[in-house]
Amino acid sequence: MGGFNDVTDYIKELYNTSEFIPLHVPRFRGNEKKYLENCIDTTFVSSVGAYVDLFETKMAEVTNTKKAVAVVNGTAGIQVALRLAGVVSGDEVITQALTFVATANAIAYNNAHPVFVDVDRDTMGLSPKAVSLFLEAHGELRDDGCYNTLTGRKISACLPMHTFGFPVHLDELISVCKRWRITLIEDAAESLGSTYKGQPTGSFGKLGVFSFNGNKIATSGGGGVIVSSNIALAEKGKYLTTTAKRPHSYEYYHDELGYNYRMPNINAALACAQLEQLDRFLLEKRELAKLYDTFFKSRDIRFRTELPETQANYWLMCVELADKAERDAFLKQTNEQGVMTRPIWQLMFRLPMFAHCQRDNQKNAIFLEERIVNIPSSVR
C-alpha cells in the first residue's frame, strides 16, 4: 500500500492553493448581496416576505412539482413530510442505515421506528431488492396497509436517501412500495439537480425533501424545502410549519399541533440568488468530477460516478478504497497534509439511540462504510 502524496498534490493543484482545502464550501458569485440588502431594506427579514414566495415558486419549477414549502432545515422537512404521509406514533418507516443521522432522527421525532434495510453498492442508497426481500420475510398486507409480522407495527412509509446526490433505483423501489402499499417519501437533501431518467429527484415520491444547509450545492445558510405534486398535501405542510395558525387579520387561533419551522425571508433571499446559479454549479461540478475520474483511474482507485439513465449532481464526490486499512491510511495522510477528506457516516444502528432498531444483514452498507471517503468537492 503506497502513500497518497500525489493525491494531495493533485487536489491542491486543482484548487490552485497551498492552504487548507475544506470538503465543501459555498460560492457566492451572483445576486446574493443585492438580494440580502433588498431584504433588509424591506424590513421583512423573518418568516414572511417576497423572497420566501419566490423561492417556493422556483423550487417547484426546479423539481418539476406543483408546490414547494420552505422550511427551516431539511430535517424539519422530513419530519413534517412523514406526518403528512400518515406516519403516526408507533408506526415503522423503512430506510437505510447508511445515511446522515437526520434521516433516522426525523423518523424518531414522529415517535415512529426506523427499520434499517440494506443499500445497493452501485447507488449507495436504499436497495429495492433488499426492501422486497425484507417485506417478503416480514411483511403482511391487511385491509389498512402493510404490517411487520415480527413487531406487529404498521409499516407506513419508505424513506430512501439519494446518497451524495446519486439517485437510488427509483423504478424498482416504487414498484415494491406499490405492491406492499407503502408510501414513498424521498430524502433528497443531497440531490438538488440530480435526475433519474430525466426527472428530478424529489418528484417521484408522495413528497420529497431538500436541504439548503451551508454545505449543500446551493445554500440559504440554513434551510430546507418540502415538495409535492399533491397541492392539498403541500398546503397542509405550509399550514403545519406555520404553527397551524388559521388565517385572520388579527386573531391568533391554532387548531392543531403545528411547528414553527418557517424559513426566514432573509435566508430565502440568499437561496433565490443561489438557485439562479444552479445550472452553472452543476456544470462546474461535472467538470471537476471528470478530472477526478481520470486522475483516480491512473491510481487504480475507484472514483464514484453516475449510473446510466441518471444524472448526479456530484454534491460530495467520493472514492472507494480497497479496504478499511487503505481507507484509514488515505484519511490520515490527506488530512495531515491539509486536504480535508471524510469517511462515509457510521451506520445508524451503531449509534446508541438506534442500536435497538430492526435491520437486515447490512452486507453492502458495511462494505461501503469500510471503503468510501469523501474528497474536496467545492465548485472551484
Tens digits of per-residue pLDDT, 153-181?
A: 999 999 999 999 999 999 999 999 999 99
Report yes or no: 151 and 358 within 8 Å, Cβ to Cβ: yes
pLDDT at 192 over 90: yes
Residue 58 has what pLDDT?
98
Q: What does the longest C-alpha to C-alpha distance in the chain come to?
A: 70
24: left (phi over 0), alpha (psi -120 to 50) or beta: beta
Q: Say what percent of the chain tops pLDDT 90.
A: 98
**How crowded is residue 41: how many other Cβ atoms within 10 Å of its Cβ?**
9
**Nearest-10 Cα torsion for 354, 117, 319, 172:** -150
Tens digits of per-residue pLDDT, 208-226?
A: 999 999 999 999 999 999 9
Angle between helix axes 32-42 and 265-275 (nearest 10 degrees) is 150
Residue 2 has what pLDDT?
55
Output the pTM of the full model: 0.97
Report yes or no: 373 and 344 within 8 Å, Cβ to Cβ: yes
Residue 121 has what pLDDT?
98
Fold for the domain defined by 5-27+278-347+359-375:
Aspartate Aminotransferase, domain 1 (3.90.1150)
Angle between helix axes 265-275 and 50-63 (nearest 10 degrees) is 40
In the predicted model, what is the mean pLDDT of the chain? 97
pLDDT at 1 over 90: no
Scanning the chain, the segments in alpha helix (DSSP H) are 5-14, 32-42, 50-63, 74-84, 101-109, 128-138, 170-179, 231-240, 265-275, 278-298, 324-336, 363-369
In the block, cell 486499512 appears at 325
Task: Return the SS3 of 200.
Answer: strand
Parse the chain into domains and list their residue ranges: 5-27+278-347+359-375, 32-277
Report yes or no: 282 and 313 within 8 Å, Cβ to Cβ: yes
Based on C-alpha coordinates, what's the Rg of the chain?
21
Query: Strand pairing partners for 145?
Result: 142
Give burial (CB, 10 Å; 0-12/13-18/19+) of 145: middle
pLDDT at 22 over 70: yes
**How crowded is residue 379: how many other Cβ atoms within 10 Å of its Cβ?**
18
Report yes or no: 198 and 175 within 8 Å, Cβ to Cβ: no
Region 74-82 average pLDDT: 98
> Among residues 174, 140, 146, which one has the least CA distance to residue 86?
146
Give the model's confidence band at 377: pLDDT under 50 very low, under 70 low, under 90 confident, else very high. very high
Print burial letters for 232-259: b (CB count within 10 Å at least 16), e (below 16): ebbebbbbbbbebeeeeeeeeeeeeeeb
Task: Return the SS3 of 183.
Answer: strand
Region 247-267 average pLDDT: 96
Concatenated DSSP letters for 103-132?
Answer: HHHHHHHTT-EEEE-PBPTTTSSB-HHHHH
- Measure the CA–CA gap between 242 and 164, rounded to whole angstroms: 30
Q: Supply the CATH classification number for the domain 32-277.
A: 3.40.640.10
